[in-house]
Structure 1
């Protein structure tokens, strides 16, 4: 019979398996449909149901103009709820994907998806909670005329879904209404001509853009231009690719990080173009400010043509915002971002860029390009945690459990070999965990702004780090092996260690869902294989230990101590296990390095 501690250990291992597999399975719908589902509109799990769908998507109108939008209600027609969905708009004549979606992120039910390299062409769920109804907005392409249908895939559970259910048709008539461009108090009603923002770059004005080399090719996705008008004012241009109600903004900062920055926004909201001055606070929020705080700030022209927004305006060189003096004749970093906008403020950016060095934009007339933010610290953080918990800890925690009667009598620096292996691996795991914890805080500049419900990874990571941190100090205070209270240490050391391990593996699973990680879906399967290997090794070694307890064999009373029965098999299992977990860990690190 297995001892009681063996049973507890077994239950902890099963908890690890269940919790991690829950996240793997939940990933099928908890964070929304992956981009890989755009073509088929089918999830990577389960099979389509042959029963009539209890869910439907209904447009608020069946006829609209091309400069209007339609509200779609994704709902259940019965008492059932759906956990996930994916919806796209299609031209009924060509069956091509058209239009863009707009969602209210504050409701936490839906989000847009970038399908076919175009932002917001699809909408999907944001959480796995059961839903009776979700409302989203769809915006047709400019000047489109024809019939649109919406195809929706509904996931009731991991195993049951209905794919490509078609909505009632929506007829769209081309609108002849011109798009207006406004900023209080300036208002223009003529449809603007396409601006040549690339003209005079590097000659009479400075230009900074992305991606690299795009100015000569005239293929930039975002760009800011600047030139000095007189001693008091600059002429600035903001240019960028957007979809629907979105913005492009430029900020002036004393460093490459967001906080205490002066910002100017070029916004398309409800087919109206506006420009606003605003300010990034230290807590990484953004608030618009009154135009009066920037004397001379004036929008001179704006346009939204072929998916690109352009704002040209006069901007003061010296001004004060929120008690901070800005003098753009001194070097500043330029930060550019784009993302969704609301009626009263811009929302969190989906794209961001920063200049590699500070610029004096009153005198700089050269061409420069934004440099992509370095991912080295994020990649180091992920790699260190994989080495620490998928490799070192996963092997090190087997040693005291199953290898005490292996390599009997063999010592290194007067310590049993199994203990040296255990201690060395766990010290490695501890060291990498602490380093990884520190560098990710440096990279994100403190705590993240997301709530725990949106992203539990940081909180669970902190708990894991605290548990890992106290482990070696507990070990230093352990009583002698024969001490009467030794069992208290054994239990505490085991519970804290297994808790940290379970949380660490869970945290790695959660990281795959994070947009910043940029990890492929296949990472889930590698992590699942690791869990299966870990549990399998525990079960097999536990079985061998229990068999030896029932049949201990003859005990030699003479000569040096020998390995327990079955030590060769245990060594073989350990060697195979090490090869597998190291190989799987290297595969995950390769994904991290390639992200």
Structure 2
């Protein structure tokens, strides 16, 4: 079996000769080696003969680890299957959700766990893709860093390739909000400035203590008991004196 590589529309197809030629999809990414990266970056579409993207719901998803970060912040994206089907090829970029895709990808990627980093036009390390389209993939992760001068909403778009007639183009992720780093700092400052306010109410509660001292001054009944003792003793003495005088008179 003779293996041929044909260039079609600036991209490669993987073909096998068995009497007549029929093409087996490899992926749009094989064109990178020959420098045809511009076409791949603009379409994110693999090249098959007589094949179209699948109309079925996508079997895979691109999941960001966070839905909000700050300028220059980093998050992790995970390409994963949501069924039991693995995938062989992929290509992922991040886009400003408020702009058309032809505005180009934004941000930078780190090396994925299974694949390679690409530099599409007008950027560096702004896309990732598979490197070996024969390996079975169920979970691929990579870090993405937001531009330091960007504030807005980002969406990750991934082309997933399962096989010759099963592929999905530019499947969107959940939106990610990139906030201003200054706004984040201001929010932190305002939050901490409100915390000392609560302790200031505690001293006012101690002003209710004085009534306890006024209650201790209401002890005079003890004084009246002393007066009663003194009167009783005096009466007893007078009684004894009267008794003595009566005895003498007798």
Normalised to the residue count of structure 1, the TM-score between the two structures is 0.25
Distance in 2 (alpha carbons) for counterparts of 1:43 and 1:126: 14
Q: How many residues were matched structurally?
A: 160
CA contact (8 A) 2:29 2:129 kept: no
Distance in 1 (alpha carbons) for counterparts of 2:60 and 2:30: 20
Match of 2:129 in 1: 124
Bigger-Rg structure (1/2):
2
Q: Does 1:140 align with 2:146?
A: yes
CA contact (8 A) 2:62 2:79 kept: yes
Which 5+ residue runs of structure 2 have no aligned equivalent?
6-13, 18-22, 184-250
Q: 1:115 Cα deviation (Å)?
A: 1.3
- Deviations for 1:280-325, whole angstroms, at most 9, x for unmatched residues? xxxxxxxxxxxxxxxxxxxxxxxxxxxxxxxxxxxxxxxxxxxxxx
CA RMSD of aligned residues (A): 2.7
* Counterparts in 2 of 1:25 and 1:61: CA distance versus 1, 3 Å: same
CA contact (8 A) 1:32 1:84 kept: no
Q: Does 1:169 align with 2:168?
A: no
Q: Does 1:41 align with 2:44?
A: yes
* Counterparts in 2 of 1:47 and 1:26: CA distance versus 1, 3 Å: closer
From 147, 156, 163, the equivalent of 1:157 is: 163
CA contact (8 A) 1:30 1:127 kept: no
Distance in 2 (alpha carbons) for counterparts of 1:144 and 1:18: 45
Match of 2:2 in 1: 16
Q: 1:67 Cα deviation (Å)?
A: 2.3
From 90, 100, 108, the equivalent of 2:108 is: 100
From 65, 72, 76, the equivalent of 2:81 is: 76
Distance in 1 (alpha carbons) for counterparts of 2:106 and 2:45: 19
Distance in 2 (alpha carbons) for counterparts of 1:17 and 1:41: 25
Q: 1:21 Cα deviation (Å)?
A: 3.0
Q: Does 1:28 align with 2:27?
A: yes
* Counterparts in 2 of 1:55 and 1:127: CA distance versus 1, 3 Å: same
Distance in 2 (alpha carbons) for counterparts of 1:49 and 1:56: 15
Relative contact order, higher structure (CA 8 A, sep 6+) = 2
Distance in 2 (alpha carbons) for counterparts of 1:165 and 1:158: 18
CA contact (8 A) 2:160 2:167 kept: yes
Q: 1:137 Cα deviation (Å)?
A: 1.1
Q: 1:114 Cα deviation (Å)?
A: 1.9
Which 5+ residue runs of structure 1 have no aligned equivalent?
1-14, 178-595
CA contact (8 A) 2:29 2:40 kept: no
CA contact (8 A) 1:146 1:171 kept: yes
Q: 1:143 Cα deviation (Å)?
A: 2.7
Q: 1:16 Cα deviation (Å)?
A: 2.5
Match of 2:59 in 1: 54
Q: 1:77 Cα deviation (Å)?
A: 0.2
- Deviations for 1:464-500, whole angstroms, at most 9, x for unmatched residues? xxxxxxxxxxxxxxxxxxxxxxxxxxxxxxxxxxxxx
CA contact (8 A) 1:113 1:121 kept: yes
Q: 1:31 Cα deviation (Å)?
A: 4.8
* Counterparts in 2 of 1:126 and 1:119: CA distance versus 1, 3 Å: same
Q: 1:18 Cα deviation (Å)?
A: 8.1
Distance in 1 (alpha carbons) for counterparts of 2:177 and 2:152: 6
Distance in 2 (alpha carbons) for counterparts of 1:149 and 1:22: 38
- Structure with more of its chain in strand, by fraction: 2
Distance in 2 (alpha carbons) for counterparts of 1:159 and 1:51: 11
Q: 1:30 Cα deviation (Å)?
A: 7.3
Q: Which runs of 4+ in 1 moved over 6 A?
A: none
CA contact (8 A) 2:25 2:163 kept: no
SS at match of 1:52: coil
